Amino acid sequence: MSLRINDIAPDFEADTTQGRIRFHEWIGDSWAIMFSHPKDFTPVCTTEFGAVARLSQQWATRGVKVIGLSVDPVEEHRKWAADIESFSGAKVDFPIIADPDLKIAKAYDMLPAEAYKAETPADTATVRAVYVIGPDKKIKLMMIYPMSVGRNFDEILRAVDALQLSEGVPVATPANWRPGEEVIAALSLSDDEARQKFGGFDAKLPYLRLVKLQGS
């Protein structure tokens, strides 16, 4: 069955470039991002891993652990990491999961349609999937890109900022929101409640009330 937002991310045990892990235990009390990619030693994937490695400090600041995944074995991942480091100038300081029997890819529904009738291992490459998982182990966000389109990790960072901002706070973020900009008071709040909570709002429409959060 396919996964939905707010489902518990399937737990699993797997070998990674940093040793064997049990996924939920590895996440601990952090936020986590798991991103899959079709194959080691391929051009788009190399640029994606480089982009994630360059953002190392940004993930750390937000308390986010990142982990990559592909069907290739750990030894291949380790050799490929050297290429990623030479291309990006950044250290691959996060683990990469080996999923040779596609156990995790299937549990997360990461495979493209044709993979389900695949006859050779070459047909079973994962698509480019991203799962943002909260400390409660629930899936907060999923993105599925085709093999031909590299992901925008600045957008994933922005989405993490929006998710963390709205954790337990009755707000949502508008289109193209950037940290520090106004946010939207939740529809669950009456006007009086919104005034009390945020000290006022700018009503662009009766149902679109912009508020400035303290300290943002």
Binding mask 124-163 for ligand BEZ (x = CB under 6 A): -x---------------------x----------------
Q: Which amino acid is at 196?
A: Q
The stretch among 41-49, 50-58, 155-163, 192-200 that binds ligand BEZ (CB under 6 A) is: 41-49
Q: Which of 42, 56, 164, 166 binds ligand BEZ (CB under 6 A)?
A: 42
Which among 9, 18, 39 has a CA at the least distance from the CA of 128? Answer: 39
Number of chain residues interacting with ligand BEZ (CB under 6 A):
8
Beta bridge partners of 36: 69
Q: Which amino acid is at 129?
A: A
Binding mask 11-40 for ligand BEZ (x = CB under 6 A): ---------------------------xx-
Q: Does 164 bind ligand BEZ (CB under 6 A)?
A: no
Whichever of 148 and 188 has its CB closer to ligand BEZ, that residue is: 148
Least Cβ distance, residue 39 to ligand BEZ (angstroms): 4
Enter the tokens of residue 202: 């700018």
Least Cβ distance, residue 148 to ligand BEZ (angstroms): 8
Catalytically active residues are: 45
Residues in the site for ligand BEZ, rule: CB under 6 A?
Answer: 38-39, 42-45, 125, 147
